[in-house]
Chains A and B, each alone.
Chain A
Amino acid sequence: AQSVTQPDIHITVSEGASLELRCNYSYGATPYLFWYVQSPGQGLQLLLKYFSGDTLVQGIKGFEAEFKRSQSSFNLRKPSVHWSDAAEYFCAVSGSARQLTFGSGTQLTVLP
């Protein structure tokens, strides 16, 4: 069975600083990996996805993520964080029945 671990429950960064959110997965085959963002009281929005090919994927809002098979990781990065990036971020892996298994999420706080 697949699983996802997001080791950081809460991260605080200053506006303009760089950001990296960690995600580790466990899956027997080549994974389909996703990052979603959830603003307070809102549904989930897809930031980016990895299916195959280039291991560095670009997403919306200036985010990118790198798939590292040797480390079973799919970390999310942004070079310069904006105050509007404050939200909760979820990493997910797609299983055999096309349903998603999510990590427990990382809450991002952005200081002015």
Chain B
Amino acid sequence: SQTIHQWPATLVQPVGSPLSLECTVEGTSNPNLYWYRQAAGRGLQLLFYSVGIGQISSEVPQNLSASRPQDRQFILSSKKLLLSDSGFYLCAFPRDGPTEQFFGPGTRLTVL
């Protein structure tokens, strides 16, 4: 069956430190993959999406970047975290159809 994993579940990092969040999917090949961020008290914002290995589209300019080194792996990174990077990061893919998305469990990031 198709499923999605995110790691780590929670993370506390100091301002200026690097970041690497991982998203992996199972049971499918070459899926579209998406990174969303949910800031406290706000809705979800699309950050990046990828239609294949090495193909990244950025929706919002920021100090974050994304990479897709493997077919079923999507990485969210930063060289230097800002306080405003705190939030809940969700990875998603179209498990049940091309126009809908199935979300992973999320990573709660707190930047101090």
Contacts and interface: CB of A to CB of B under 8 A. Distances in A.
Interface of A: 6, 32, 34, 36, 41-46, 49, 51, 90, 92, 94, 97-105
B46 A100 contact: yes
Contacts of A100: 34, 36, 44, 46, 92, 101
Contacts, number: 55
State the main secondary structure of chain A at its contact with B. Answer: strand
Chain A to chain B: the 9 pairs with minimum beta-carbon distance, closest first: A104-B43, A102-B44, A44-B103, A43-B103, A102-B43, A32-B99, A94-B99, A43-B105, A43-B106
Interface residues of B, number: 25
Interface of B: 32, 34, 36, 42-46, 49, 57, 59, 90, 92, 94, 96, 98-106, 108
A71 B78 CA distance: 42
20 contacts: A6-B43, A32-B100, A43-B103, A43-B104, A44-B44, A44-B103, A46-B102, A49-B100, A90-B43, A90-B44, A97-B49, A98-B98, A99-B34, A99-B49, A99-B59, A99-B101, A100-B44, A100-B101, A101-B46, A105-B42
